[in-house]
Amino acid sequence: MQLTHANTHFEKRSFPITLVCDHIYFQQNLGSLFRIGEAFGIEKIIFIGKDIPLTPRKINKTSRSTHLQIPHSIIEETTEAIALLQEEEYHIIALEITSTSNPIQQLSVPKNKKVALLIGNEIEGISSDLLAIANQITHITMYGYNSSMNVVQATSIALYEISNRMNELPK
């Protein structure tokens, strides 16, 4: 028998993960990022960029009202976001394919440290300024000819990996 939301037996948890979205503008992606973030127990979302279209009416369909449950903020300038991430001493993980990135299976999640997961724009990816401050750069190994996937799909895989590893850490 299929379970409903009310009768699942998942343990509700939250993790010290902040999702940092570098100039993501597609409304379906924005709504889906709230939904997947809530599913994996993240603390908050930071959107970097001007005129982020967080119109509740338009993102509600994909967010399923999770945009009302996850604290979020918009920082217009990348330099301000960098200063905040460094000031708050996040362990910064960038999700991007680069010449120095490692497969997500090799990702190391620190104990007792807040994690910022950087994800990039739908077309350009993560800016070089943000990549430069990352403690780790990780990628998802793919086996087809395509070398990229939708930002929400990739974020889902990364949050699954990070939250599982945090869940396994001694408390």
Helix (H, G, I), strand (E, B) or coil at 17: strand
Residue 76, in any domain of the structure = yes
Task: Quote the pLDDT of residue 11.
Answer: 76
In this structure, the chain runs to a length of 171
CATH number assigned to the domain comprising residue 25: 3.40.1280.10
Residue 38, in any domain of the structure = yes
Residue 110, in any domain of the structure = yes
How many domains is the chain built from? 1
In the chain, % of residues over pLDDT 90: 75
Tell me the C-alpha distance between 105 and 157, whole Å.
11
Range of the domain at 50: 14-168
Per-residue pLDDT of 106-158, as tens digits, reads: 999 998 899 999 999 999 999 999 999 999 999 999 999 988 899 999 999 99
Residue 148, in any domain of the structure = yes
**b/e per residue, 67-101, with b = 16+ CB within 10 A?**
beebebeebeebeebbebbeeeebbbbbbbeeeeb
> Residue 163 contacts by C-beta under 8 Å, 6 or more apart in sequence?
13, 15, 17, 40, 41
**b/e per residue, 125-135, with b = 16+ CB within 10 A?**
bbbeebbebbe
Per-residue pLDDT of 68-107, as tens digits, reads: 789 999 999 999 999 999 999 999 999 999 999 999 999 9
Give pTM, 2 decimals.
0.93
Q: CB–CB of 124/161 below 8 Å?
A: no
